[in-house]
Amino acid sequence: MIRRDGHVRVLPIHVANKIAAGEVVERPASVVKELVENAIDAGSKNIRITITQGGRKLVAVQDDGCGMTRDDAVLSLERQATSKILDVDDIEQIDTLGFRGEAIPSIASVSRFSITTRRHESDEGTLVVVNAGQLAEVSAAGCPPGTLVEVRDLFCNVPARRKFLRAYVTEENHVKQVFIVHALAHPAIGFSLTIDGRELYRLAPAATLSDRVLDLFGKDFLAELLPVTLNPNAPEIRVSGFLERPNLNQPTRRDQYIYINGRPATAPSIAYAMKEAYPRRPGEVRPAAILFIDLPPTQVDVNVHPTKREVRFRDNTAVKLAIMTAIQQALCAPVGERPERPAEACPAEPTELQADKRPTTDDGRGEVSEKRQTTNDVRMPEKTVQPTTRPAVAAELQSVKQAPVQVEFAVEPDSTASRPWKWFNFLAVTSSNYLLIETDAGLVTINPRAARERIAYEQLLDASSGTSTASQELLIPETLRMSPTDFARIKTALPTIEAMGFSIEEFGKDTFKVDAVPQILGESSPAAVLSTIAQDLAEPGARRGDRWREELVAKSIAKSFAGSSLTLTEAGAKQLVEELCSCRMPYVCPRGKMVMIFTSTRELDRKFNRD
């Protein structure tokens, strides 16, 4: 029973540490993050990470940094004990990853914890053992220079927190992500990661960031990136790194790694600047990016979030302008200095007027809402011009003039109710690639892309339920190397993906080999399709219903298939309509977009005042 008598008390230190652990230690990946940052701050050249059972049983981080004396090792268990700041003025000049002195005591308070450490100039090291916040042992130890921290049985004394941990593979994926984030930020440091006795990564110190990207993601991913470099007239803000070149065949949401003064972090103004500077595409575009924003420590507050995930800038406008300029310069670099890209990918240079005086509404977080034109905003021409008929329009009109051939469905009597129409006449495919048909009830305009998506989605869902689906073998099997997180997501969904027509197997570290794809994919890239599936699997709120995974994978594949071909012949258009009319839900695509717009004959008569 909690006592609430109105009196104020100072909490016991073990209670305070457990509360602090709730802010700092969310899961095993949080432990890895804090320990790796300490190892980096200690000047390490090599860092080894080991986890067992998703980090529940063991998280160990070993480095060859400066190490600690016996007194320092014991003092590190006290809250607010740190070697990184001395007084309040230092908070304005922070250039280390950690500084508050809460991580070690917080972790030690909820685990079986040990530190083995030695300074390079010392002859012997020190072993400190803590059991759930209680100091158990301090003794001399033989060990190499540097520090080894072992965290066993995380949340052993907080069973409620332990119950909230996810499956081993999920926790492993979070640890992998922390590993990648820090390995990218510090290419000069060697990193290794071992999970359940299997070494997944061994990264030697690299000379450049591109070398580290190559080691982590492979040459295909590196080839998709554009170098970003900005050293503006105001040298206090520098932007560097890599940005994915615009590519319509890639998924619209990719992993982004943002660093501010070497610290993995972000801010609302950064997301806004990237969204504004990157070429507009349908849907939510989130290109792959590895960006480093460097500015004087006095210009950024890193102490606004308990885990230092978010920062605050003194001059948001200057940072936004620098990022937008850097991205646009990368997109518009001379052809010899970058991979080929679409011509429309090069937007205009941002100016102070654009950054500060846009005719939009800023909500204070750098997010801007645009005023979009509605369909009622139509301007009439100032003078009458004799209209001319474009060849494409003439062809459309000619196809309409020809006597249409009525198509009647050959269906069973009990299934006619599911058809949206009894018959249809093909009229034309417009120059903007909409399909026009006449039905027994009126006129219908169809978006072929959305229609393809609906048809493919339902076929794939049927396949996942056991209905046979046609597969197409690849002439040359394709090997795909993915990011560790995407690889893990695809691995968990492999049975579903294979049921929908893929023949796919693991082929080394973070790599799959694809031998066959669903026939409906046509010319779509297997790499793009699997990347889309991986990104969609990461979306929050996807796990609903009994078949959420099948529905999500089918939706992802259908989305990739929809844009594979946009050319429609008359025969192809008729087939598309017939297949669409066989769908259970032909009116909207799996993402909720309209497939067709229907105008009844009665409505047409009313608009034209026909009796």
Q: Tell me what pLDDT residue 418 has.
A: 59
Tell whether the model's pLDDT for residue 485 goes beyond 90: no
Rounded distance between C-alpha atoms, residue 418 and residue 609, angstroms: 33
Spatial separation of the C-alpha atoms in residues 350 and 232, rounded to whole Å:
13
Reference 242, options 326, 127, 322; nearest CA is 326
The residue type at 292: F
Burial category of 380 from C-beta neighbours within 10 Å (exposed 0-12, middle 13-18, buried 19 and up): exposed
Residue whose C-alpha is closest to residue 488's, from 555, 532, 533, 534: 534
Report, as an integer, the average pLDDT of 213-239: 83
Give the distance from CA 603 to its chain's centroid: 45
Kindly state the tokens that stand for 63.
Answer: 């480095």
For residues 271-275, average pLDDT: 88
pTM for the predicted model, two decimal places: 0.66
Q: How confident is the model at residue 297 (pLDDT cuts 50, 70, 90)?
A: confident
Please tell me the predicted confidence (pLDDT) of residue 376.
36
Residue 241, pLDDT score? 95
What the chain holds in terms of domains, given with CATH numbers, is 13-207 (3.30.565.10), 224-367 (3.30.230.10), 449-563 (3.30.1370.100)
pLDDT tens readout for residues 188-203:
999 999 999 999 899 9
- Say if strands 289-294 and 256-260 run parallel, antiparallel, or are unpaired: parallel
Residue 121: beta bridge partners? none
Task: Kindly state the tokens that stand for 523.
Answer: 């010319």
* pLDDT for the residue 597: 92
Q: What is the pLDDT of residue 6?
A: 57
Query: Across-strand partners of 209?
Result: none
pLDDT band at 9 (very low <50, low <70, confident <90, very high): low
559/604: higher pLDDT: 604
Which whole number is the average pLDDT over 6-10? Answer: 60
Residue 445 reports pLDDT greater than 60: yes
Comparing 215-229, 303-317, 479-493, the range with the smallest average pLDDT is: 303-317
In DSSP notation, 426-475 reads: EEEE-TT--EEEEESSEEEEE-HHHHHHHHHHHHHHHHHTT----EEEEE
The predicted pLDDT at position 471 comes to 82
Q: Give the integer Cα–Cα distance in Å for 348 and 342.
A: 15
Of 131, 133, 137, nearest in space to 70 by CA: 137
The pLDDT of residue 69 is: 92
SS3 assignment for 58-98 = EEEEEECCCCCCHHHHHHCCCCCCCCCCCCHHHHHHCCCCC
Q: What is the mean pLDDT of residues 477-493?
A: 86
| Average pLDDT of span 269-290 | 82
Q: Span 10-23, mean pLDDT? A: 57
Confidence of residue 233 (pLDDT cuts 50, 70, 90): low
Percent of the residues in the chain that have a pLDDT greater than 70, as a whole number: 71
Q: Worst-scoring range by mean pLDDT, 67-71, 95-99, 291-295, 401-405?
A: 401-405
Using DSSP's 3-state secondary structure scheme, residue 174 falls into helix
The answer to which of 77-91, 98-112, 240-254, 439-453 has the lowest mean pLDDT is 77-91
* pLDDT at residue number 52: 96
Mean of pLDDT values over 371-381: 39
Min mean pLDDT across 198-212, 281-295, 477-491 is at: 281-295
What mean pLDDT comes out for the span 245-255?
A: 70
Q: What is the mean pLDDT of residues 364-382?
A: 39
- Region 519-531: mean pLDDT is 79
Residue predicted with more confidence, 385 or 418: 418
Which of 265, 254, 257 lies closest to 240 in space, CA to CA? 257
Residue type present at position 334:
P
Q: How far apart are CA 277 and CA 322, in angstroms?
A: 11
Count of residues making up the chain? 611
Pair 315, 236: CB distance under 8 Å = no
The rounded mean pLDDT for the chain is 78
Res 318 pLDDT > 60: yes
Q: Judging by beta carbons within 10 Å of its beta carbon (0-12, 13-18, 19+), is residue 188 exposed, middle or buried?
A: exposed
What value does the mean pLDDT take over residues 338-351? 45
Q: Is the pLDDT of residue 351 over 50?
A: no
User: In angstroms, how far is CA 152 from the centroid of its own chain?
Assistant: 31
- Angstrom distance (rounded) from CA 224 to CA 244: 6
Q: Of the given ranges (2-16, 25-39, 207-221, 270-284), which has the lowest mean pLDDT?
A: 2-16
Q: Can you name the residues that pair with 151 across neighbouring β-strands?
A: 59, 113
Residues near 172 by Cβ (< 8 Å), separated by ≥ 6?
A: 51, 54, 55, 195, 488
Instruction: Report the C-alpha gap between 41 and 68 in whole angstroms.
Output: 13
Structure tokens at 382: 């100032």
**How far apart are the C-alpha atoms of 534 and 178, rounded to whole Å?**
18
- The one-letter code for the residue type at 202 is R
